[in-house]
Structure 1
Amino acid sequence: SNWLSPDLTSLGKPSPAVTLVDGLPEDHNPMTQLSPISAMSSLIGSDEIRERQQNLMKMIDKCSYVGRKSNLVLISGSSRQHMADTRIPSSQFKQNSEFIYLTGFTSTQSSDCVLALIGGNGEPLQSILFAPFEDSVHQLWDGNDMREHSVWINSICDELRDLSKLNELIVSEIPHKQLFVSRSGLNQSNGNNSENCDKLSPRLTTHLNLNTNTSIHRVSPFLDQLRAVKSKAECNAMRRVCDIGSQAILNSMVWTKQLSEHSLVNESQIAAKFEFESRVNGARKISFPTVCGSGQRSTIIHYGANDQFCATDDWVLMDAGCEDVDGYNSDITRTWPINGNFGTNRLRNDLYEALCEVQSDLIAAVSSDSMMTLDLLFKLMCDLLGKVLLEFNVLNTTVSAQEAASLAHRFCPHHVSHYLGLDIHDCPSVSRNTILKAGHCFTVEPGLYFHRNQTLIKPEFKGIGMRVEDDLLINSEGQIEVLSKGCPHKPNLI
């Protein structure tokens, strides 16, 4: 589908007309560019944001260690970043996904905000957004502050207050409340899995004068459980951003073939092409630094230099994703020959086709097994890759099928999957041993990396790296949707 078209039939129904209040949409994410173009229109309404807040507080209220107290939840937005030794804003700002989930705000303008949710134990929910109220000098440099978005804020919160007033709320509420804090408000050195922690991040500590008896709980496990199952609107957002990402990679693949016919191709050019195609089709930015490794550099999983020229017969591995206006992300990997000719290197081509078959078998397993988990999928990947190692006689020693499956993890040292959504590695506290169900969105990404320093493999395989990664969604009917299918990966389709 073409997301630059106003036609939204692929989402089910066209978007309703937007009612403007004081020049702003009455029920619309303020971060959206006010445009009829569907790729740049928010799909998450204020009713859904309010429902998320309510669901979070209900879930916390049912927790056994909360007791009879009501609850105070603090969700910190990310801090504004600047270039070294300047006040020039960094272009790399990434809003805290938990803050996005509960407010809808994604841009730098919403940096340094704190959302306070109060309620539970019979108390109705009270939602207050604290934001820095800037003076005219700051606004001259950085633009209007969050008061500009009062229409949206009033639709998702009960009140907007100056950030300087946050401590007053804390002092009045903390003696009677259980305190829950988001990941970004905690000192991460305490680890991510502790249910209770006692250290806050320096930024949030400045607003909290807590006595030593105050218990601080992590709110992230509750939010991760909610975020793991995507709503109808979120599913549409994932379809859209994966469609944009797929088209951007496909256009990059076609472009490299055309460019290679009359010029050397640099990895940085391919990465830049992907970002351009993503943005021109509606993405706000790329989701993470693009990996674009050609030749032997394709064996470096987190290669990021992207600064080498590709040989005319090189293959390139590109791991890339983009983020939409609502903060949702795609994450797609393709491997292809720069010149578009898969038949030039028969060994590499056959190995690549075998990897594609492994991925097809993995997706089929998700479709056919109602008890499938990501960890079971990983075990299956190792078994299948072990068979590939034996079939292609990759190893320089004789091993059994069981031994080959065990060795497969050495040549594909990452997991086969992770959850996907507002974060690339979404919902980290949700176990990969969770049974997959409707609303789950995740990747399937088998790979093989034969580094030149590997001693277990034959010389002809050294320097070969390849991965195929697609984004999957289990829809409301329980069917598997390959959201990134717009970019083919099998040689005959490319």
Structure 2
Amino acid sequence: MELSKTLSSPARVAFAFASKQPRSSNELHRAGVRHSSTVRAADLTFGQPVHETHPHLLAPGELTPGITAQEYADRRTRLAAKLPEKSIAIVAASDVVFRSGSVFYEFHQDPDFLYLTGFNEPEAVAIIGKDATGTDHTFRLFVREKNQKAELWDGARSGTQAARDVFNADEAGDIDQLKHILPEIVGEATHVYTDICQPDTNQSALHRFLYGASPKKAEFAELIGPRKPVRLRPVMNDLRVVKSAAEIGLMRYAGKASGRAHTDAMRHSWTKEKQLDAFLRYQFTVHGCETSAFEPVAAGGRNGLGIHYIRNDDVLQDDELVLVDGGGKYGGYIADITRTWPVSGKFSDAQRDLYQAVLNIAETQLAEQLKQLGFDMSGKNIETLFPHHLSHYIGMDVHDTSGYSRRAILTEGHCITIEPGVYVPDDNRWPKHFRNMAVRIEDSVAIQEDSPHMLTTEAVKEIVDIESLRN
């Protein structure tokens, strides 16, 4: 099949080639060159999977697993609708982060950038601008150009031509030329929406390509001029917090795979936290996820008192509980699950009582459950035993849409965790037989109009089901 018939984009699909050694795609675009020669899409290289090269990962029309090019375009339209006339929104991709020398960490794309573009490469900037009429918008995408020498070392790049023809940019350019182009774009805008100038962001790509290796946020502020930049994150949070059916489908997929991994882990007898950690990561992938959503917790005994304990380097004792918090990631969306079970496979009386108390409750009922087990629940003791929130938003991030209000009324499409827990320090205030126990039970849930949709049902949690896995 020819490329013009198979690319994922619903809009422009033709690639142009001038010769065996073509001019840059920018030159071809400016010259309006469109040669009749075609090439199979499967024979081209891109910086990420497309349907033609990876049909086992992407269905026709999808830019990323489960999300179509049309849905990405609709997201940009929804963003533009929230902007004033002649305003622009600037979002930068993440950079590659190096752990030492030339050894890098696994690349993780900036969620806002990925949400708007579907483009999963570093060193890129997207600009969405609303026109003067208020009825249309322009999508500009600046990316790394194809470079044979660089791609030999770092892998394929998609390049500017794919930015137009696959990712539907109205205008595409080489990221190295951004510093020459951006001042004019900014100068024509009435408002600039961006988080580049905010101290809590790590979007250095735009700064680096404007100012070099040691950028300063003040320099970007000078480029914007007398207009104070408007924070983009609240606008993006409003867009991202309500999930589409496709997004919920991806989270259900991740939840199913992650839940099966947790249940599989409960079937085995473990002697070391690190072995359990490694098994869980492996099973996420075996069951269909791309990677782990975050560093798993595999905390035996008192280690579970640390909410985000991730050292996972201790020995597991048969008379203790193990608290496991982990989830997989698929198509850019995550699952978040915590399960607690006895290392021996069978709950002691005290473990059973504390576990059942957590399984029974919501936050307002926890104090009463613990009081019945002999805990002194006077004063603010509940804050010691249950120090974290009952829930958080989930989606592309484990703690999704950072800064979005927890007081918002949940509506259809919100996706959250439900995670009651009890953490009993080794303190004379608490009944002796519960000390150093930690229990957390966490599931991922999508809010529907009539009832919640549990995304992680494959992870068993009833005592009888947990104990039966070893029999």
Q: What is the TM-score when the length of structure 2 is the normalising length?
A: 0.81
1:433 correspondence with 2:433: no
Which has the higher Rg, Structure 1 or Structure 2? 2
For residues 149 and 332 of structure 1, what CA distance do their matches in structure 2 show? 41
438, 441, 451: which one pairs with 1:468?
441
Q: Does 2:236 align with 1:213? A: no
Name which of 132, 155, 158 aligns with 1:143. Answer: 155
1:48 has 2:61 as partner: no
Distance 1:338 1:29 in 2: 44
Whole-Å separation in 2 of the counterparts to 1:409 and 1:155: 48
Residue 384 in structure 1 maps to residue 365 in structure 2: yes
What is the alpha-carbon distance in structure 2 between the residues aligned to residue 252 and residue 186 of structure 1? 44
Return the alpha-carbon distance in structure 2 between the equivalents of residues 23 and 74 of structure 1: 30
Distance in 1 separating the partners of 2:99 and 2:230: 33
Q: 1:318 and 1:166, CA in 2 relative to 1: closer, same or farther beyond 3 A? A: same
**Maintained 8 Å contact 1:29/1:42:** no
Out of 84, 90, 102, the position equivalent to 2:105 is 90
Instruction: Quote the Cα distance in structure 2 between the aligned partners of 1:430 and 1:71.
Output: 23
Task: Work out the CA distance in 2 between the residues paired with 1:458 and 1:356.
Answer: 19
Secondary structure at the aligned position of 2:87 is classed as strand
Quote the residue 1:333 is aligned against.
338
**Structure 2: 5+ residue stretches without partners:** 14-39, 213-219, 467-471
Deviation at 1:240, TM superposition (A): 0.7
Distance 1:200 1:83, change over 3 A: closer
How big is the shift at 1:200?
11
SS in structure 2 of the partner of residue 426 of structure 1: coil
For 1:78, what is the secondary structure of its paired residue? Answer: coil
| Paired residue secondary structure (1:310) | coil
CA apart distance, 1:56: 0.4
Pick closer, same or farther for the CA change 1:214–1:151 going to 2, 3 Å.
closer
Partners of 1:38 and 1:133 lie apart in 2 by: 24
Contact 2:95 2:123 in 1 (8 A): yes
| Map of 1:422 onto structure 2 | 396
- 1:295·1:463 contact (CA, 8 Å) conserved in 2? yes
TM-score, length-normalised on structure 1? 0.77
Contact 1:247 1:487 in 2 (8 A): yes
For each residue in 1:372-431, what CA deviation from the matched residue of structure 2 results, as whole angstroms up to 9, or x when unmatched? xxxxxxxxx0x3111122111123xxx55xx4xx42122111100001000111112321
User: Following the alignment from structure 2 to structure 1, what is the Cα–Cα distance between the partners of residues 95 and 287?
Assistant: 28
Cα distance in 2 for residues equivalent to 1:50 and 1:314: 51
Alpha-carbon distance between aligned partners in 1 of 2:108 and 2:205, rounded to the nearest angstrom: 20
Contact 2:424 2:438 (C-alpha < 8 Å) held by counterparts: yes
Q: Is the 8 A contact 1:76 1:182 kept in 2?
A: no
RMSD between aligned residues: 3.0
Give the structure 2 partner of residue 172 of structure 1. Answer: 184
Aligned match for 2:374, one of 388, 393, 396: 393
- 244 and 421 in structure 1: CA distance in 2 versus 1, 3 angstrom threshold: same
1:105 aligns to what?
Answer: 119
**Which residue identity does 2:95 align to in structure 1?**
S
Q: What does residue 19 of structure 2 align with?
A: none
Change (3 A) 1:436 1:463: same
Cα shift at 1:235 = 1.3
Residue type of the alignment partner of 1:414: H
Give the 3 Å change call, closer, same or farther, for CA 153–37 of structure 1 in structure 2: closer
Distance 2:164 2:315 in 1: 48
CA-CA distance at 1:154 after TM superposition: 3.6
What is the number of equivalent residue pairs in this alignment?
A: 416
Residues 52-72 of structure 1: per-residue CA shift (max 9 Å, x gap): 0010010123xxxxxxx5111
| CA shift digits 1:92-114 (9 cap, x unpaired) | x22110011011134xxx01211
Q: Which residue does the alignment assign to 2:208?
A: 203
Q: Does 1:80 align with 2:102?
A: no
Q: Is it true that 1:235 corresponds to 2:248 in the alignment?
A: yes
Cα 1:89–1:384, aligned 2, differ >3 Å: closer, same or farther?
Answer: same
- The more displaced of 48-57 and 242-251 is 242-251
Give 1:180 deviation, angstroms: 3.7
1:189, distance to aligned residue in structure 2 (A) = 5.1
